[in-house]
Amino acid sequence: MTMDRRQAMGTMAIGVGALAGGAQAAANAAKAQAPTRGRQLKQSICRWCYGGMDMKTLCGHAVDLGYRSIEILSEPDWAIVREHGLDCAVANGPVSISGGINRTESRDKFVADCEALLPKVRDAGIPNMIIFSGNRHEGLSDEQGRANCAEAIERVLPIAEQTGVTVIMELLNSKVDHRGYMCDKTPWGVELVKKLGSERFRLLYDIYHMQIMEGDVIRTIRDNHQYIAHYHTGGVPGRHEIDETQELFYPAICRAIVETGYDGFLGQEFIPTHDPVESLRKAHAICSV
């Protein structure tokens, strides 16, 4: 069969129209299924990065920028964030980074301090309390240090379970910022969570720190999200803004977090090098997936 030019042009027009209609239908379907930006990942500001700004001013900026929490706070600041309609996603715990709980001589004080603090954290409506492993020291293997941490946390778990507060241990790098820190690799922390076997003990996965120590951030999150209760950001290198100046691509990382079903907070823990309010504004947009 032969087809003249007019017939051919008409057939092509029908085909193009059908393709366009199909593409538009596919786009509409994808749009309907896509998450609403900023609604699936709640964002928080880590207080210590903005120490030059008083709490009330920081709270005001947080509200204006769409943040829902200011975190890593001690008891005197809990009421201030509540007055501004904000949450505190993470309360400070009773131990320092270097002097954490892998030393047996600090155990009794750690337990007593937790027993006093956890009911207050619960009453303030704070879901998590941060703790640290402590540093390595001579004669203490990583395995024994983990066993010491487990024994200390096990004594705290009854009160954590009673109050419903999750005790979270932060993963930190021991290469740049915290030389000698023991909980510096995801597998070490995951084994500790497994050993204790309680919903009230989980990890704080700091993306900045683990990029330095391990890399492979998205795969690690997907494989271990059930052991993680909280996340922190930070640009690599330098722990500054999480924008195009650094090596991590946070939109993809945040999408991976959302896809795990995570419904907690993402804490912005970068040290701004530019105007802090604008840096926070941009970070919020970057992580709104």
In tens, the pLDDT along 258-288 reads 999 999 999 999 999 999 999 999 999 999 9
Segment 194-210 shows an average pLDDT of 98
Rounded to whole angstroms, the Cα distance separating 165 from 161 reads: 7
Rounded to whole angstroms, the Cα distance separating 55 from 187 reads: 36
pLDDT band at residue 221, thresholds of 50, 70 and 90? very high
- Whether the Cβ atoms of residue 47 and residue 88 lie closer than 8 Å to each other: no
Residue 10 has pLDDT above 90, yes or no: no
Concatenated DSSP letters of 200-237 = TEEEEEEHHHHHHHT--HHHHHHHHGGGEEEEE---TT
Segment 12-35 shows an average pLDDT of 45
Return the pLDDT at 139: 87
CATH class of the domain at 38-287: alpha beta
pLDDT band at residue 24, thresholds of 50, 70 and 90? low
Per-domain boundaries in the chain: 38-287
- Whether the Cβ atoms of residue 192 and residue 227 lie closer than 8 Å to each other: no
Return the pLDDT at 35: 40
Segment 131-154 shows an average pLDDT of 96
Angle among Cα 204, 279, 43 to the nearest 5 degrees reads 35
Question: Which helix H or strand E contains 74, and what residues bound it?
Answer: none
Minimum mean pLDDT among 5-9, 47-51, 133-137: which range? Answer: 5-9
pLDDT tens for 81-140 read 999 999 999 999 999 998 889 999 989 999 999 999 999 999 999 999 999 999 998 889
SS3 247: coil
- Give the helix ranges, DSSP H, for the chain: 5-33, 55-65, 75-83, 107-123, 142-163, 186-196, 207-213, 217-224, 250-259, 276-287
Return the pLDDT at 40: 76
Return the pLDDT at 34: 40
